[in-house]
Amino acid sequence: MNEFTLGVEEEFMVVDPVTRELTSHDQKIVDAAQKIHEDQVKAEMHQAVVEVGTSICRNTDEARAEVIKLRKTVATLAGELGLRIGAAGTHPFSHWQHQLITDHPRYFDIVNELQEAARSNLIFGLHVHVGFQSREMAMHIANGVRYFLPHVYALSTNSPFWEGRNTGYKSFRTKVFDKFPRTGIPDYFNSIEEYDSYIKLLVKTNCIDNAKKIWWDVRVHPFFDTIEFRICDCPMLVNETMAFTAIFQAICAKLYKLRLQNLKFITYSRALINENKWRAARYGIDGKMIDFGRELEVNTRSLVLELLDFIDDVVDELGSRNEINYVHQILEHGTGADRQLEVYSKNQSFTDVVDYITSQTLQGVDV
């Protein structure tokens, strides 16, 4: 049984260690890394981005080992080129206008279609895949997990700065990405057939040429037998990446367990879930969200703890207790955004923030 297998993708910024600006690596990191890990390191639309992806992992232990291995590889190769990598949802001060687009027909097509929305999309995310044997079951679970997306997103907030400004948001990354079509919280789909019909209609009417241009916060992947979670900022720390990966896996396992017991988790509309997503982007874990069942504002931290209680009975079976427990460290010490803001408050220095990001990215990685 290959239910709940994992795949983790992280998007890193490439940084000039002198100016601390984003910089093109001319795909040299990707070219060198592919000789080591084949297709696990890829280019992205902007030349200042490197994307890594694990192979299919049976559990969080395997995923952690691969996440560390891939961070180590790209950091080492970047270092050999006199560069650094960093993990955050946005660069604190670099301007997108100065960054080069990767020379690839797919990216040129996206830029041609989406224009400045695409050129300015200089952001870095975490994507977590959870495996399912049945696309029908994956669709059912994807409907249910939507409610919990803002909870995990709040924990992952790691992009308070944009183009040298404190945005007032804990995660400005999604504000940048909102300019794209087909983003955000998806609608509810009654069946996988309804979802597939939606995709076919968009292709038929030339809205998209393939289903990868569905950029929702969670989606049944068009080519893999997975649910793909796309809402999180790229986390600074390996421990954070693994905590969010473990939570997503556990939510899927819990909803699957309820389904086998003929129990159904209540589903909420996109409009309601979006209220919590906005609050998560603005305030991270220090604000309030809506408990829709009780129709009350509740501290986000308490809703996170409720989520941990909800998934608790599947965590040991998945072997992810240690990863899940790290959430308490985030609640105590703050999210990546909180820590970036704390560093900035000391000297009002964005270069200090970049140095902090690049050093934290390699914490626990033997480079």
Question: Given this model, what pLDDT does residue 367 score?
Answer: 64
- Is 353 strand, coil or helix? helix
- Widest distance between CA atoms in the chain: 59
Question: Average per-residue pLDDT in the chain?
Answer: 93
Helix, strand, coil fractions of the chain, as percent rounded to 5: 50, 15, 30
Euclidean distance between CA atoms 25 and 262, whole angstroms: 52
| Residue found under tokens 């003929």 | 262
Statement: residue 1 has pLDDT above 70: no
Contact (Cβ atoms closer than 8 angstroms) between residue 228 and residue 142: no
Cα 349 to chain centroid distance, Å, stands at 26
Q: Is 183 exposed, middle or buried (0-12, 13-18, 19+ CB in 10 A)?
A: middle
Regarding predicted confidence, which is higher, 222 or 78?
Answer: 78
Statement: residue 2 has pLDDT above 60: no
Alpha helices (H) along 121-172: 135-145, 149-156
User: What are the strands, taking DSSP E only, across the chain?
Assistant: 6-15, 41-43, 49-53, 84-86, 126-131, 161-162, 165-166, 183-184, 215-216, 218-220, 226-229, 288-291, 296-299
Indicate the angle between helix axes 350-361 and 336-347, nearest 10 degrees: 140
**What tokens were used for 325?**
């427990």
Statement: residue 103 has pLDDT above 90: no
Statement: residue 121 has pLDDT above 80: no
The pTM (predicted TM-score) of the whole model is 0.95
**What is the tens place of the pLDDT at every residue in 289-341?**
999 989 999 999 999 999 999 999 999 999 999 999 999 999 999 999 999 99
- What is the percent of the chain where pLDDT is above 90? 77
List the domains of the chain with CATH numbers.
Answer: 6-347 (3.30.590.20)
Residue type, 261: Q
**What is the tens place of the pLDDT at every residue in 140-180?**
999 999 999 999 999 999 999 999 999 999 999 999 999 88
